[in-house]
Amino acid sequence: MRHNGIYLLLLISVALGGCSSSPSLPADQGQSIAEAFLNEIKSGKVDNAWQETTPEFKSLMGKEAFRDYVKRRPALMSEIKFESSKANQNTKMKLVEFQFRAEKPKPSKITIMLSPSESSWRVERLVAD
pLDDT (mean) for 26-44: 91
Instruction: Give per-residue burial for 37-46: e unless 16+ CB within 10 Å, then b.
Output: bbebbbeeeb
How far apart (Å, rounded) are the C-alpha atoms in residues 107 and 20? Answer: 38
CB contact set of 70 (below 8 Å; sequence gap of 6+): 41, 46, 49, 76, 77
More confident residue, 36 or 23: 36
- pLDDT-based confidence at 94, cuts 50/70/90? confident
How far apart (Å, rounded) are the C-alpha atoms in residues 85 and 27? Answer: 7
25-29, 39-43, 92-96, 107-111: range with lowest mean pLDDT: 25-29
12-26, 54-68, 76-90, 97-111: range with lowest mean pLDDT: 12-26
- What is the average pLDDT value for the chain, to the nearest integer? 82
Q: Structural domain boundaries of the chain?
A: 23-128
How far apart (Å, rounded) are the C-alpha atoms in residues 86 and 97? Answer: 5
**Whole-prediction pTM value?**
0.78
29-33, 45-49, 73-77: range with lowest mean pLDDT: 29-33
CATH superfamily of 23-128: NTF2-like; domain 1 (3.10.450.100)
